[in-house]
Amino acid sequence: MEATSKCRGYKKGVLFPTSTSMHGCYASKNISISQPNGEAKAICMGCKEECHCLMPSRTTLHRCSVCLKVSNSTLGPHGLKKECAICRPVKKIGAKLLKLGDLGSSKKNGNLLSGSLLPPSMPSSSLALPSTSRYNKRAVLCGVSYRKRKFRLKGTINDISNMKELLIKNFKFPKECIRVLTEQEQNANLIPTKHNILESLNWLVKDCQAGDSLLFYFSGHGLQQPDFKEDEIDGFDETLCPVDFLREGMIIDNEINSTIVWPLKEGVTLHAIVDACHSGTILDLLFVYKHESGIWEDNKPPSKEPIRKHTSGGMAICLSACEDSQTAADSSVFGGKGMNGVLTYLFTKTIREYPGITYGGLLEKMHDEIKKINRSRCNNRILQHIFNRRIAQDPLLSSSEKFDVSTTMFKL
More confident residue, 231 or 33: 231
Answer for the pair 194, 242: CB distance below 8 angstroms, yes or no: yes
More confident residue, 267 or 307: 267
Over range 318-326, report the average pLDDT: 95
How many degrees, rounded to 5, is the angle at CA 35 between CA 34 and CA 36? 110
* Predicted pLDDT at 103: 40
Over range 402-411, report the average pLDDT: 97
What does the pLDDT look like over 55-108, one tens digit per residue?
A: 333 334 444 544 445 454 444 444 444 444 444 444 334 333 333 333 444 554
pLDDT at residue 287 above 90? Answer: yes
What does the pLDDT look like over 172-209, one tens digit per residue?
A: 999 999 999 999 999 999 999 999 999 999 999 999 99
Instruction: Write down the pTM of the prediction.
Output: 0.72
Answer for the pair 208, 268: CB distance below 8 angstroms, yes or no: yes
pLDDT at residue 52 above 60? Answer: no
* Predicted pLDDT at 7: 59
* Predicted pLDDT at 135: 82
* Predicted pLDDT at 107: 58
More confident residue, 129 or 41: 129
* Predicted pLDDT at 230: 81
* Predicted pLDDT at 227: 85
CB environment 151-183: b (16+ within 10 A), e (fewer): bbbbbbbbbbebbbebbeeeeebeeebbbbbbb
pLDDT at residue 149 above 90? Answer: no
* Predicted pLDDT at 132: 54
> Whose CA is closest to 44, among 33, 35, 54, 55?
33
Residues 6 or more apart whose CB falls under 8 angstroms from that of 400 comprise 261, 264, 285, 286, 287, 310, 311, 314, 315, 316, 317
* Predicted pLDDT at 84: 47
| % of the chain beyond a pLDDT of 90 | 51
What does the pLDDT look like over 336-383, one tens digit per residue?
A: 678 899 999 999 999 999 999 999 999 999 999 998 888 776 555 544
Provide the annotated active-site residues.
221, 277
Supply the CATH classification number for the domain 137-399: 3.40.50.12660
pLDDT at residue 330 above 90? Answer: no
* Predicted pLDDT at 307: 82
* Predicted pLDDT at 61: 45
Question: Domain residue spans in the chain?
Answer: 8-91, 137-399
